[in-house]
Structure formats: structure tokens, C-alpha cells
Structure 1
Amino acid sequence: MTVKFKFYSWSVSLYSGKARAYLIKQHIDFDDISPAEPHYDAVIRPAIGRWIIPVMETPNDEIVQDGVDIIDWFESRDMARLPAYPQTPRHLIASLIMEFFGGEGLLRPAMHYRWNFDEDNLDFILQQFGLFAMPQLAPEERRDMALHASGRMRKAAVMFGVTPDTMPHIEAAYEETMAEFDAHFAAQPYLLGGAPTIGDYGLFAALYAHLGRDPHPLAMMQNRAQMLFRWTERMRNPSSDMVEFIGRDESLLGDDHVPETLKTLLRRVASDYLPEIEAMIAMSNDWLAENQPAPDEVVGGESLGRGIGMCQFEWRGETLSVVVMPYRIFMLQRIQDAYDALDNAGRAEVDALLDETGLRRLITTRCHR
């Protein structure tokens, strides 16, 4: 009997969705397993040092934690049916930018639409959180414990900049973004043509677990952005699922072409996320100068508090105060490292794309460490 990969996750988990979609699309034989299983507390948690999902356990008992590391585990072993990282410069950088935006830049609407629409969402969310976290308990006990735990997540939403003053702007921006995604997926099955890339997996994190599964934002997507909704279905299907795209195969767009609809989405990153990135890097560089951590010291590695402080920036006429998490610097540096590895011709092609979409500062805004 074939020994499967074990994937410890929840369906409600934003970051679990990224890695799960990859496993599905690559036809990896795996089982979804609850971290409530005794093996998690006995083996997985001590090995990692804290409770966290997603985690993958390989058939050889290797433990891999974090969606990026899970994906890269397969990519580095040439086990990908459809490689996540494009080989051409514009496609690669555009895909990495959208990965960053999906997992981090869309957290504000993801948290807002999950935790501020209780009339539509709360019963579903409490049932789901209780079911996945404590399946051994009676339903009423699960609900009570989930309700208590939800207070921490509501506070986290505020740390990401969700306040009564910013909510109207978050909603306006997300409705615009949703329409832009809808226009793109009306023209392309995936971000870059007929196969998913790392950008699709990153976007799926927020656009499914929160925004495409919780009742209120799901209804919004189904009513206003049906082609975006179709993409969320496609990303959960082991087949290419391109029935509405007659004649398309599982290949990326030729000639490193970035379609206009994707350029529109890159401009959205520039308008809605770049100001926060710049403020985050400025605050982080100040923190590094003040605290002088040792070269091998982990910054922001505490199990229950991975932020190192707050930063402020202007967005749509409001001053937002948000938590600064070093993990986001890691995600930004993935883009910058890929750019740095390009040859001169590749950088010139990417520079032209970034200039056109207002994202050149994404490459030049760098952490001192």
C-alpha cells in the first residue's frame, strides 16, 4: 500500500489553502489530517516548537512547516507536474508579486469580511472552527470554545488595520479588486495562462478560505464576480478544469507575455499594498538599528506574537496603523532575490513591467538584513 503524505490543516485556514491547492494540482497523494489528532501533539508540535498549520509529514517522516516550504519541498525534488515557478523573467516576478499580495496584501479584506458580518457568518464560522479544532467535543461545547477563541481573531483584524474608520475603504477597495480579478479570469484560466503558478497558489489563500468560503463574502463573489468564483473552483480541481476555454492546454502564455488584465492587478498591488510595504520596511530598518540583533538571531519568532511593532501609512485618506511581521519581509525578499538572480536582459524586461505598473519601488525598498 502506498504511504501518503500527511497534511495537517483546516479548511478554514488561509495559509493551509495555498499548500493544499498545490498538492491537488500536482496530483500528490495526500490525506488532510486534523491537528487534533494525538500524533500532532505527540510528534509534530514538539518537533516544530509550537502549534501551527499547515504542516506536512512526508512518507519518510520528514516534517515540513509553512506553505512556501511545503511547495518548495516538491519543487526542489522535481516532483511538480506543473512547476510553480515560471522560467521567464516577467512571468516569474509577476507571479511572485501576486503570491505576496494574496497571502499578505489581501489579509485586510479577508479579516474584515470574516469577522465583521456576524449575521451571515458567525454560525458557520463557529461551527467550522469548533469542528476542526475540537471534533471530539459535543457541538454545543465546540461552539462555546470557538466563540471564546474568536475574540483573539477579532483583535488580530484590528492589528491588520480593520477599524470602523477604514471599513468603508476596505470594502470599496475589495469590490474594485474583485471586479479586476473577475475580468482577468474571464480571459485566462489562471494568472498566466493554462496552468497555475506560485501566484495562483498565493492568491488562493485569501480568495478561498476567507473570501470564497465564508457565507457573506462567498455570496458577494458568486453574485458579482462569477469568473473569479470559477477560478476558486478550478484551483480545487485536480484536472485543469478549463471547460469554458476551448482549445487551451496546460501551458503558460507564450513570449513571457503579461496580459493587460494582469497589469491592472499589479497596479492594484501598487495602490493598495505598496504604501504598507514601504512603511513596514522603514519601521523594520529602524527596529534593526535600535535593537542590533545577532546575525543568527530569529527576529519575530515568538510563538504567539510574531510582530515586532506597528507602522503607520496613508491609504485612501486614512492613516492606518498595522502590525509589522518579519514573515512579510521574507515574502518580499523572495521577489527581490528572484529579481537579483536575473541577467541584465531579464532585469530590463522586468523593470519595464514594474515601471508600467507602478511597482519599481517593490524592488528598491529593502530591509537592511
Structure 2
Amino acid sequence: MTKFRFYGMPHSLYSGKARSYLIKQHVDFEELTAGHPRYGEKIMPAIHRWIIPVLETPDGEIVQDGTDIIDWFEKRGLARHSAYPESPRQRITSLIFEMFGGEGMVRPAMHYRWNFDETNLDFIEDQFGLFAMPSAPREKRLEIIRKSTGRMRAAAVMFGVVPETIPIIEEAYEELMGELNAHFSQTPYLLGGAPTIGDYGLIASLFAHLGRDPYPAQMMKRRAPALFRWTERMNAWGADMSEFLDYPEELLPGDEIPATLKTLLKRVASDYLPEIRAFTAFTNGWLAENPDLPANAPVGGEKLVRAIGKCSFEWRGKTFDVGVMPYRFYLLQRIQDAFNALADEDRKSVSALLEETGLSEIMTLRSNRRVGRKDNIEIWEG
């Protein structure tokens, strides 16, 4: 084996993050569906659950999780363009968008996939069946997939997508889409002429669900063409920014955070901080009720479930009930750890940006036990 093997699916939200990185870094890889026999023979015995994305290296090492896949290359100096900006404000900003893109945008992603059957359903059923069971006859694939879509729709409810909240979800996403479009009309990527970890976080929801499923993709093309071009750009081997004449393939100089990006940071504060706040309170209460969890205990228990319970929070005048997934603290800790590693003057500069955009609290919200990853699963650290 000379190539990397990447196990994912085009319609998988979390596959998009790692796939885009592999493409942009010019990694020699082949993509296999999780329906490939090798996944069951090689990957499942190693990671003990059905989950994507997964990377299998030429030496046989197995890495699960989009962030961990990216960091596997970064730590070995194999990145063509590092995902992590060196300048402090850009580094923290990109990490914030990694978390927001992958976790804070799941609600619109799930809503626009599962609540527009007239436009989406034929495409979704075909894609789920084709990539899960590529060798099965089409009619057999559809029969099996149609029996399992109820579970997938239930996942949308776990993220707070219910009839009472749908108008707010749509309102907020349309606002966000407009702000993203304004930003990508001015710059090819989040922070200039090269993608960062923030771009890779955002592409998760904005490609597989919102930029590929028929209904939201058409909406994005009509209302946010610059944003749609960015989703194409993030899946292109080259820079793919010819409409930006002579734009250099490098980040904005001087640790610049343009006004359009500050607007988006304010959006993270208004649309995602309430949920992080509720997650933190619930998790710390749950940990207080479970004081005897040993170090390195799996976050999801023996069944490796993602959620440890449900919490409620108020947003735009409505109550949202959502599953609490400690994996999000893994991403939140990355922001806080990067901030804590900065020199004093750099922390002051970042703090001023966070204060200006309403995100100061993101540095103080934390679980009383850190969430780590070991052997490709989330664990409670000691």
C-alpha cells in the first residue's frame, strides 16, 4: 500500500472536514466508503464502533476524527499550507470557526436535510444507499435505507430541530448565509488566500448538507453565490480563486481580522454561546453526580454514545432541548489551550477582539474535567 486510505462518504458532514484538508495538502489518498469490505475487516475491529471519517496510513496506523486526522499531518510537518495560523488573533479566530462550523451549525444542516422531502428525499435515499451498500441492487439498498431514516430524523430532534424552533433556525441560517457570502465576496478563504482550520471546520456543514443536498444547495446558489464558490474552492486541488485577481496564496498580513469576519464572530457569540453555556452547566452537574469516573473512562460509557443527557437553553425567545455531547469540549479546549499558550501581549490583543465581538466568555466556559481522545475515542481525563 502506497496511498493513504480515507474512509468517508460524500454526504457525511464530518467526512467533509478531513477530505478537504487532504485535497488541499495534495495528499495521495483513495477514498473508500464505510460500506467497503475493508472497513468491516480492518477498521471496525480497531475502533470498536461504526464511525467516519477514518484515515488508514500507509504504515497501517488508524486515525479517527477529522481534527485528529488533520493534526496527524500537521504534527509530522506534512502540510503544504498549515491549517494553523501563526499570528495570535488569526489562530484563535480560526479555532473558533472550527468548533462553530462542525458543531454550532449542525441544527440548520439537519433541518435542511430532513425537512424538505419533496426536493431532497430521492437524492438522499439514493446517496445513503449507494455509499453504505455499493454492491447491493438499487431496490434492495432503498428498502434498507428507508427503514433506517427514522433514526436519522430522530438525530435532528436531538439537535433541537422541532416544529416550534424551525422558523428561528431558518431565520438565523439565512442571516448567517448572507454574512458568509459578504465575507467570501471579499476574500477567497476565511483569513485570506489559504485555508485554515476554521475553513475546514466550516466546510463540514456547508458542503455535505447545506451545499450538496438539493434544497439548501439551490438556496445557497441563489442567495449566496460567493459562499457556494467557497464550497467548490474548498474541494479543489488548487487555490481555485481566479476571480480574485493576483490574490496571493497566503494569509492576510499583520494578523488582520477584517470587518466581515468580525461580523461572523459576533454571529458565533449570538447563535452559539447560549448553547455552550448550557452544555457547560449540564456537564459540570453531571460530573458532580458521577465523581468516581476513573481517569481515561470513555465519555460515552461502554456503548460509546455521543450524548450524556439533554439540556435546555433560551435562544431568540424559544426554548431548545438538545443532546449534550462532551466532544464539543474537546474542540473548546483547543481554543482555550491556544489562548493560554500565547505571550501576555498577544493575549491582550486576542482579548480585545473577543470583547469587541461578544466572545469573551468562550475563554471561561469549561467542563470540570477535560475531554481527551485516546485510542480513537473520547475520554474523561484524570
TM-score bracket, shorter-length normalisation: over 0.9
Q: For residues 12 and 85 of structure 1, do their structure 2 counterparts lie closer, same or farther at Cα, with a shift above 3 Å needed?
A: same
- Would you say the 8 A contact 2:274–2:313 is kept in 1? yes
What is the CA distance between 1:90 and its match in structure 2?
0.2
For residue 327 of structure 2, what is the amino acid of its counterpart?
Answer: Y
Indicate whether 1:187 and 2:186 are aligned: yes
1:352 match: secondary structure: helix
CA deviation vs aligned residue, 1:151-188 (integer Å, no higher than 9, x gap):
11110100100000000000000000000000000000
How do 1:65-104 and structure 2 match up within 5 A?
Answer: 65-104=64-103
Report the counterpart of residue 358 of structure 1 in structure 2. Answer: 358
What is the CA distance between 1:247 and its match in structure 2?
1.4
How do 1:1-369 and structure 2 match up within 5 A?
Answer: 3-292=2-291, 293-303=293-303, 305-369=305-369
Number of residue pairs aligned between Structure 1 and Structure 2: 368
For residue 73 of structure 1, what is the amino acid of its counterpart?
Answer: W
2:63 match: secondary structure: strand
For residue 77 of structure 1, what is the amino acid of its counterpart?
Answer: R
What is the CA distance between 1:304 and its match in structure 2?
5.9
Q: For residues 304 and 122 of structure 1, do their structure 2 counterparts lie closer, same or farther at Cα, with a shift above 3 Å needed?
A: farther
What is the CA distance between 1:303 and its match in structure 2?
4.6
What is the CA distance between 1:137 and its match in structure 2?
1.1
Give structure 1 stretches of 5+ with no counterpart. none
What is the CA distance between 1:47 and its match in structure 2?
0.6
Query: In structure 2, what is the Cα distance between the partners aligned to 1:138 and 1:153?
Result: 22
Query: In structure 1, what is the Cα distance between the partners aligned to 2:190 and 2:25?
Result: 17
Q: For residues 29 and 42 of structure 1, do their structure 2 counterparts lie closer, same or farther at Cα, with a shift above 3 Å needed?
A: same
CA deviation vs aligned residue, 1:310-349 (integer Å, no higher than 9, x gap):
1111001001110000101111111111111111111101
Query: In structure 2, what is the Cα distance between the partners aligned to 1:24 and 1:185?
Result: 20
Query: In structure 1, what is the Cα distance between the partners aligned to 2:297 and 2:131?
Result: 34
More deviation, 257-266/299-308: 299-308
- Would you say the 8 A contact 2:298–2:304 is kept in 1? no
TM-score, normalised via structure 1 length: 0.98
2:323 match: secondary structure: strand
Query: In structure 1, what is the Cα distance between the partners aligned to 2:355 and 2:87?
Result: 18
2:297 match: secondary structure: coil
2:49 match: secondary structure: coil
1:43 match: secondary structure: helix
More deviation, 139-148/220-229: 139-148
What is the CA distance between 1:40 and its match in structure 2?
1.2
Query: In structure 2, what is the Cα distance between the partners aligned to 1:304 and 1:86?
Result: 33
CA deviation vs aligned residue, 1:223-278 (integer Å, no higher than 9, x gap):
00000000001001011011011111110000100001010111000000000000
RMSD: 0.9
Percent of pairs identical after alignment? 62
2:298 match: secondary structure: coil
Query: In structure 2, what is the Cα distance between the partners aligned to 1:295 and 1:304?
Result: 16
1:187 match: secondary structure: coil
1:320 match: secondary structure: strand
CA deviation vs aligned residue, 1:127-165 (integer Å, no higher than 9, x gap):
000000011111111111111111111101001000000
For residue 325 of structure 1, what is the amino acid of its counterpart?
Answer: M
What is the CA distance between 1:295 and its match in structure 2?
2.3
Query: In structure 1, what is the Cα distance between the partners aligned to 2:92 and 2:174?
Result: 25
For residue 338 of structure 2, what is the amino acid of its counterpart?
Answer: A
- Would you say the 8 A contact 2:34–2:132 is kept in 1? yes
What is the CA distance between 1:302 and its match in structure 2?
5.0
What is the CA distance between 1:305 and its match in structure 2?
2.4
What is the CA distance between 1:39 and its match in structure 2?
1.6
Q: For residues 126 and 222 of structure 1, do their structure 2 counterparts lie closer, same or farther at Cα, with a shift above 3 Å needed?
A: same
2:34 match: secondary structure: coil
Query: In structure 1, what is the Cα distance between the partners aligned to 2:115 and 2:156?
Result: 9
Q: For residues 53 and 363 of structure 1, do their structure 2 counterparts lie closer, same or farther at Cα, with a shift above 3 Å needed?
A: same
Query: In structure 2, what is the Cα distance between the partners aligned to 1:216 and 1:92?
Result: 34
Query: In structure 2, what is the Cα distance between the partners aligned to 1:306 and 1:86?
Result: 30
Give structure 2 stretches of 5+ with no counterpart. 370-382
Query: In structure 1, what is the Cα distance between the partners aligned to 2:278 and 2:302?
Result: 22
What is the CA distance between 1:296 and its match in structure 2?
2.4
Query: In structure 2, what is the Cα distance between the partners aligned to 1:302 and 1:255?
Result: 48
Query: In structure 2, what is the Cα distance between the partners aligned to 1:249 and 1:68?
Result: 26
What is the CA distance between 1:34 and its match in structure 2?
1.4
